[in-house]
Chains A and B, each alone.
Chain A
Amino acid sequence: DTEVTQTPKHLVMGMTNKKSLKCEQHMGHRAMYWYKQKAKKPPELMFVYSYEKLSINESVPSRFSPECPNSSLLNLHLHALQPEDSALYLCASSQDLGIYSPLHFGNGTRLTVT
């Protein structure tokens, strides 16, 4: 079990659909992250939020739109995705952005774009 909960676990969407991935943590963490992981590859950082403000955007295409409505929730809004966006999307949180704050990951949402 993980303390970072991601929903849904699996998602299939067409290229014209709009969908959202959700992430929730109740550990009081103030930093939250989105990673993308393709099969047999390491996770790649997409976005970092610190105290509900976007801190890092790793040049992610605008069809991915993050949102942090409060300190416990992190969303990733998806629109007009391409088949190559199919991947495992991982959410993580940490106490803050400090070096002593390990990241806690959820088990991800497996996204398939058809």
Chain B
Amino acid sequence: DAKTTQPTSMDCAEGRAANLPCNHSTISGNEYVYWYRQIHSQGPQYIIHGLKNNETNEMASLIITEDRKSSTLILPHATLRDTAVYYCIVRVAQDTGRRALTFGSGTRLQVQP
């Protein structure tokens, strides 16, 4: 699976959009981008995933660049409860027998009141 690079930490004002970047310059054509987050004292929580098209669900939007070398997770109206570590992960699609998630270091998002 391709390696990802994320900023160590970010701040965001409550009510504003939080834009979390992720670089995955070695991504290959059959690898998906997944985002998870981990709120303090909880297990990781799935947010969204995509291949090449932008995706949106009730939690967030995922914008993937046309060359697929980077992506941005957007929380449109951040709240204090969105304070967490956000993990960007790239997963290969074919049957390699090793599809389980490998977490990188993630971005610690602090939403400020």
Contacts and interface: CB of A to CB of B under 8 A. Distances in A.
A and B held together in a complex: yes
B44 A43 contact: yes
A62 interface: no
B105 A42 contact: yes
Contacts, number: 50
A79 interface: no
B46 A90 contact: no
B43 A108 contact: yes
B2 to A, nearest CB: 14
Q: Residue among B44, B100, B103 with the most chain A CB within 10 A? A: B100
Nearest to B85: A42
A107 B91 contact: no
A97 B26 CA distance: 23
Interface of B: 32, 34, 36, 41-46, 49, 87, 91-93, 97-106
